Structure 1
Amino acid sequence: MSLPKPVMRGLLGKRLRFHLPIAFTLSVIAAVAFKYAVTEPRKQAYADFYKQYDAMKEFSAMREAGVFESVRPSGE
């Protein structure tokens, strides 16, 4: 009793017809999940931060701390 020969002709096309839609679907699901799990919360966090951010107050605090070499503190 011998084993039948494997069918090699058209094997790649048959495998691609099965795996390509699965790969495409999974990639779309991953992209949508990344958008809503990572980028949307990140955009919201930036928006919330910059709603109450005062650049001049931050600059004054850094100037008082001596971060800048070319800017003297306001007390001098």
Structure 2
Amino acid sequence: MSLAKPAMRGLLGKRLRFHLPIAFALSLVAAAAFKYGVTEPRKQAYADFYKQYDATKEFNNMRDAGVFESVRPTGE
């Protein structure tokens, strides 16, 4: 009794027909997970921060602390 020859002809096409849809589906799941797990919370955090942010007040605080070399503090 001898072993059967392996089916080499068309093996790549057969494997691709099986694995390509799985890879495509997993990549879509990974992209959706990244979008809703990382980017959406990050956008929401930025939106929440800038709702309360006052650039003029922040500038005045930094100016009074002496962060800027070209701007004199208001107390002088």
Equivalent in the alignment of 2:54: 54
Two-structure CA RMSD over aligned residues (Å): 0.7
Unaligned 5+ segments in structure 2 are none
Equivalent in the alignment of 1:69: 69
* Whole-angstrom distance in 2 between the partners of 1:19 and 1:75: 70
Unaligned 5+ segments in structure 1 are none
**What amino acid maps onto 1:57 in structure 2?**
K
* Whole-angstrom distance in 1 between the partners of 2:60 and 2:54: 10
Runs (4 or more) in structure 1 with deviation over 6 Å come to none
TM-score (norm 1): 0.96
* Whole-angstrom distance in 1 between the partners of 2:2 and 2:70: 88
Equivalent in the alignment of 1:36: 36
**What amino acid maps onto 1:52 in structure 2?**
Q
Count the aligned residue pairs.
Answer: 76
Give 1:66 shift. 0.8
TM-score (norm 2): 0.96
